[in-house]
Chains A and B, each alone.
Chain A
């Protein structure tokens, strides 16, 4: 950093002094880092390494702990429930990520120029399901989706759209879509906050210039705002993808993966294998695959949205 140099007095031996400063800086830097590193290494890095390592072992309760190479990985691709969970996960991600991104962009464009109080109000409203917490959100939706006392069936019957009660969470055809709907409501809060901040940072003189030149609102958006908010879009795509892949609590609380595994996702299935069947090694192997899929998708999103969008 060379800041030390400026404190040097004339006549001192610069190199020795400098080395001493660098050494002292390094030591104090590590002392400052130490508490955070203890937690990070102890409870993030070590479990990650253990996850990878034990995925090559037969690590199950009541069975001998033995090295089985890639067997856990090979088993996965013959496991019908895993393949179904993989399919469900992809449906969920493929629907949730684009809709969350597009919808939050639309809302943000609509509210970011509003009066501060109004903007703040809408931002809070859309953030509300996130803050309320997954469990509270899940139990109230479970009630609203209930076949007999649920609000949804009442409204749809009263307005004549349906003429019988549907078991929304109990039917393999509708259950996953119910989960996606709730996931959607709990996912758009953060992207809206991010987009509103990003749109507020777009250089107003560029927008004015565009309008003077007679650009339509859509042209202003597409040629001026969209390129400037690209880094935010990328970030939103990545975090929404990660969150959607990890969708677990809603499923556990609403359907337990059923009916007939129609709402089982990889995350849910990992939990089921590891904590219900006590097959830790197999669960960890699926975890590794999930991490690889997410890493690949994130890399792809970086590529597609252009490497110029990030640092």
Chain B
């Protein structure tokens, strides 16, 4: 029996790094244009995995939670998701996760979803065993509220009898395993021991999980898997952008990981002290492929002169336009701009202007009782104004 295991489509998600406004209003920052392309990419990934399922002859596509980013996504998001699902020929099972729990506001029960939902799509909003095909059962552990107080998967597993002979059982759950986040007090963490036990005594044959956006397999039993998100959502994800094609029998699962996502969220740490460092950063940025589908987050450390700082600003501004986003992470960057004597000489000032510049330099170097950042900014401005032709 073959099926496609996926999760965390997060339809309706926006990323702040991708900007908010049309270009003219964004004051030189990132624009909302990337945001729209990103939203489309998420839908494209869904369509891609649908085609994959059709091609591979999967029995069904199991989406383990977080189909939507929120229960409160707009009707446009719902409509486009339904359009994408309608193109599937394979049946689809949608499990409510922590982002779209089966509470009173559940998007999967909303009239606009119900009206457009294609017939081959089933919402697993009631917990328990669902027979999805002859001899194939899916045990659903849907989220019914945003903050469940128990291990929902464990609850389902405890209530189960061993599967009848000839019946394959797949558990569909959403949430982190306790081994992945052992120090957490979260009561809804999935107890791995219970899962392993259920697999061992044949109550279930595969535990399909969602919530973790990176593709992951349990070290002890490779039938416990997180499919990860089919399209990247954040910089800290290890291996996103995949779906799992699972060939399952009573004894084992053969899983192939299929990439469907096309975007990349890249974090880059760089030390900047010399002009060589700047050139290296420039080169690294230039070397990135598919820049229009890449968001870069830079964590910069080091000390630059006024001139070098200006060069860095120019460099970043130049690359910014090619990438979907280039972000310098303020809280992880420790980049000091310290003017040196060469900067002062560059200015080539005389008279009172030279005196003023000297005073600002002293302040920028951190003289006591000063605000070096402001002084540095003032010096950069002075640099620019002196460079301006008369």
Do A and B form a real pair?
no
